[in-house]
Amino acid sequence: MSYSKIFVYGTLKKGEPNHHWFRLENGFSRFVGNGTTIKKYPLVIATEYNIPFLIDSPGQGYQVLGEVYEVDEKMLANLDILEDHPKFYVRRLEDVKINDDINQCWIYFLPKFKKEMLNKEMFEWYSSKGPHNLVYCERYNRNPNYNHKDEILVNLEILSTVVFI
């Protein structure tokens, strides 16, 4: 069986609201250790639901702290469903430092974002109950008539109609 390493930085970490996705029924997972991205990225909290996003804008923000798990293909497929990969987030291999070793780990990034997202406060690490006082709103508590993606995503249909002179 094939295993991959995945770096999680937000609500999938231990003690966070979505950590339950690592249950055995979703596939195999094993905690490897704490990790830090080699590159700097903006980790921001956005939308009225206080969702953490790792923005695909390398060189800005911080080397992000998170957790690394070894997962099987079934778990990775289930995490792709949670993260709506590749429509919303994209999953990409990046270097992550675990103890003194550099490992290639999958990381979910937000690739198509409004530039205003880069003006938000950036964090080195995330906790839903952190000092920022921006508690994550779990999916079952959300307004079904509100699409939080509209707050953060660039409207690609509008961009495709822009004519550059």
Give the SS3 label for residue 153. Answer: coil
Q: Is 152:113 a contact under the CB 8 Å cutoff?
A: yes
User: Which one of the listed residues 25, 70, 73, 83 is annotated catalytic?
Assistant: 83
Domain boundaries, the chain: 3-151
d(CA 50, CA 1): 37
Q: Is the previous residue joined to 52 through a cis bond, with omega within 30 degrees of 0? A: no
Whole-model pTM: value is 0.90
Tell me yes or no: is domain 3-151 CATH 3.30.420.130. Answer: no
One-letter amino acid at 5 equals K
Say whether 151 is catalytic: no
- For every one of its 165 residues, what pLDDT tens digit does the chain have, with 9 covering 90 and above? 789 999 999 999 999 999 999 999 999 999 999 999 999 999 999 999 999 999 999 999 999 999 999 999 999 999 999 999 999 999 999 999 999 999 999 999 999 999 999 999 999 999 999 999 999 999 889 988 888 888 888 754 444 344 444
